[in-house]
Structure 1
Amino acid sequence: MDHGVSSSLVEKVKLEIRDFFNLPIEEKDKLWQQPEDIEGFGQAFVRFEEQKLDWADLFNMVTLPTHLR
């Protein structure tokens, strides 16, 4: 891909993501999403407790526009 990001940086990010998701839940919970915010660790698609979905943890970061970082 010609997105301007070096392959070494892509690999470093992959390793950091893997390491984050291998942390104990107590550590990941420190970065839990705040109400009405999609940034952070959590399950962004869960709208109510009774909702049935396949399990999917995620970590979401706003990168663009830059003023929202």
Structure 2
Amino acid sequence: MTIKWLKAAGIRAVKTAAQTAIGVIGATTVFSQVNWYVVGGTVLLATITSLLTSLAGLPEVKDSGDSK
């Protein structure tokens, strides 16, 4: 893995985590008090999922044709 890929995947994962947190916090405040364990677990799962999805390829990182 290259530094460029790690940076792009990290940025994508942070954006996904923030979007998930906003959605979960917003949804839980409508129904009841915010359960921070649920928010944290959901955000962690979304972040891991984003990183795993990035393994399939990132359009932000152009393939230079190297097989390394």
TM-score range, shorter chain: 0.3 to 0.5
Give me the TM-score of the superposition, normalised by structure 2.
0.32
Q: RCO (CA 8 Å, sep 6+): is it higher in 1 or 2?
A: 2
Q: Which has the larger radius of gyration?
A: 2
Greater helix share, structure number: 2
Greater strand share, structure number: 1
